[in-house]
Amino acid sequence: MQAAECIRSKVAAYVYRHVLEPFIPLEKQDLLRIQSHVDMLRHTLQQKENHFLLEMLENTLRSLILEVWNIILRMYKQENEFEHSFRWKDTLPRFLYLMHTNCRYHHTVKWYADQLYVSPDALSAKLKKLYGKTANQLISESLIEEAKVCLLNPANSVQDVAEKLCFSDQASFSKFFKRYCGMSPGQFKKQA
């Protein structure tokens, strides 16, 4: 998760599109680049004494993730050069970008709709049509993922996470988390 965090804002607009069509054809040169990263990971894991094993693995994994997303983004760019643009084509990726970069601070559909100059109902309807989920559901899912990442950090208490995610208090955060995960944040933290 830490290795992927550095590119989240750059790929957010493409994540849901890729989820809908997760299989992409790879060219031989792309396969060779990916294979070299996998070989490097395997070689690093096999080293008996390596004082920087964790750091090397993290950087190699980060490099692999960046390489894969570079390939995906290049393919989408090629596709987009042939497509005609229309208002929603720009709005939905901007919503996904805003959501992934701001869900910690803004939890309402209205805030995102205001940023995109559309009505909350129109935004939710379009997202429901394309992704099968409303804007509120997508924001909540993204917020839950942020919460889980924060809770996995042993340095963060449940109160700390509630504050980081801009909830009014720990009780409202706990209620929100339990509604979506079926357990309290404390129980999730103990399970991890």
Domains of the chain: 2-80 (no CATH), 86-192 (1.10.10.60)
User: Tens of pLDDT along 149-173?
Assistant: 999 999 999 999 999 999 999 999 9
State both tokens at 161: 């996470």
**Which candidate, 30, 121, 35, 128, places its Cα nearest to that of 74?**
30
How much is the pLDDT for 192?
A: 73
How much is the pLDDT for 161?
A: 95
State both tokens at 160: 């700390």
User: Tens of pLDDT along 100-131?
Assistant: 889 999 999 999 999 888 889 989 998 998 88
How much is the pLDDT for 2?
A: 60
Q: Please give the Cα distance from 75 to 43 (Å, whole number).
A: 30
Query: Among 71-80, 89-98, 145-154, which is the least confidently predicted range?
Result: 71-80
